[in-house]
Amino acid sequence: MRLSRYFLPILKDTPAEAQIVSHRLMLRAGMIRQEAAGIYAWLPLGLRVMKKIEQIVREEQNRAGAVELLMPTLQQADLWRESERYDDYGKEMLRIKDRHERDLLYGPTNEEMVTEIFRAYVRSYKSLPLNLYHIQWKFRDEIRPRFGIMRGREFLMKDAYSFDLDPAGARRAYNRMFVAYLRTFARMGLKSVPMRADTGPIGGELSHEFIVLADTGESQVYCDKTLIDMPVPDETVDFDGDLEPLIRARTDLYAATEEKHDAAEFETRVPEDRRLSARGIEVGHIFYFGTKYSKAMKAVVAGPDGQDHFVEMGSYGIGVSRLVGAIIEASHDEAGIIWPDAVAPFQVILTPINMHKSTRVAETSEKLYRQLTAAGIEVLLDDRDVRPGVKFAEAELIGIPHRVVIGDRGLEAGKLEYRHRRAAESVEFASDEALAFLQERLRGR
């Protein structure tokens, strides 16, 4: 992408309304635009990051055996009357009437709809286990939308729903999602901690929230520090095997959100030097709620015993749009965002100096741009006729991890300059080995 032809509306000033760093940086870097309270347009740079996050979420859901579909954003109120949640959900639900005066709503979650789909098609335990998910916009009329896309009213969520014959099967489904979540957040460069959590309006007994520690987080959390640096299962993990030991290793250690915190238990179970009380951002939430919806909505399957059984269910959410903010909270400095490679909107930024005066700089930059693009690397070429200082500052603000400076001085000796967004110093490398040099840097992370 050529910056001269891109749409990157960078703001000079720090927007006064933004209280936390991720919101400030997203506005300044031209990633989002507020259209109404808690409702945002995703500008090109923001959209690229969100798509990367979405794809990682998708890959890990698929790896864990979940199956993607897409349910609509609008739902019929009658479905929610069946589960008796239509009235219970209260003012957070956006209610709409169509031209025939039928009650619709903008979905805040999809337990009812997915249960309706399930009961329409699945009759036998032989079709189980089944886990259906989608990545779709939700609307919750939050009383206090704030922190930009972190607590929006319209937001993108991945929500998965598992169906099993019995509680033991449902537990295995829960465990698969638990491990998928650990992997998902780790791939985005985040350290997430699963914590015992309240189930809220979704209902049920067993529930964990996945929390990313950050001072600006809305949740107060308590945990054993050991949890923070525990290694995450790699891609060879067997989702059909017994995941229980892997999960126990974590859930045996104390970790709870405020609602589930027990100060006395915390003190007995965790030695003082390992006690952590901190703020955190909820990026995911998993629930096992058994037959709550299948009973209300009569979703049954025939078991091996020939009898009908209410299907055992769980639901599993990830805040896809919230993650964009959470990653920035976890990875930035005074100059701007520092994207982890896996979610960076572009991998490499080329910063030519005086491109519009020096043919040598222009030609080298254009050639390198074509070469990297052809190699499948996502490159942003800063071909604008602006001062080098502006280019450097904006490259840092938007957080592209790998930067190459092309200048006359270096080219005289056949050199270009490389700097990782995190590094303090630049290094020189031979201009004619640029592709190999960068490929190595990209592989290195």
Residue ranges in contact with ligand ATP by CB under 6 A: 109, 140, 142, 151-152, 155, 157, 200, 282-285, 317, 319, 321-322
* 171 is a contact residue toward Mg ion (CB under 5 A): no
* Partner interacting with residue 152 (select from Mg ion, ligand ATP, none; CB below 5-8 Å by kind): ligand ATP
Min separation Cβ 328 and ligand ATP, Å: 14
Cβ 152 vs Cβ 26: under 8 Å: no
Of the listed pieces 20-28, 66-74, 250-258, 282-290, which binds Mg ion according to CB under 5 A? 282-290
402: which 2 tokens? Answer: 């790998």
Nearer to Mg ion, 171 or 285 (CB): 285
* 85 is a contact residue toward Mg ion (CB under 5 A): no
* Partner interacting with residue 116 (select from Mg ion, ligand ATP, none; CB below 5-8 Å by kind): none
Cβ 91 vs Cβ 140: under 8 Å: no
Min separation Cβ 32 and ligand ATP, Å: 12
DSSP readout, 284-347?
A: EEEEEEETHHHHHTT-EEE-TTS-EEEPEEEEEEEEHHHHHHHHHHHSEETTEE---GGG-S-S
Q: How far apart are CA 319 and CA 51, in angstroms?
A: 13
Q: How far apart are CA 132 and CA 113, in angstroms?
A: 11
Q: How many CA atoms lie within 13 A of 34 on its CB side?
A: 20
Closest-by-Cβ residue to ligand ATP is: 319
* Partner interacting with residue 157 (select from Mg ion, ligand ATP, none; CB below 5-8 Å by kind): ligand ATP
Min separation Cβ 136 and ligand ATP, Å: 12
* Partner interacting with residue 347 (select from ligand ATP, Mg ion, none; CB below 5-8 Å by kind): none
Nearer to ligand ATP, 119 or 285 (CB): 285
Closest by Cα among 341, 339, 342, 345 to 326: 339
Closest by Cα among 131, 158, 153, 152 to 318: 158
* Partner interacting with residue 399 (select from ligand ATP, Mg ion, none; CB below 5-8 Å by kind): none
Count the residues of the shown chain that bind Mg ion, applying the rule CB under 5 A: 1
Tell how far CA 149 is from the center of its chain.
12
* Partner interacting with residue 271 (select from Mg ion, ligand ATP, none; CB below 5-8 Å by kind): none
Cβ 325 vs Cβ 149: under 8 Å: yes
Give residues in contact with Mg ion (CB under 5 A). 285
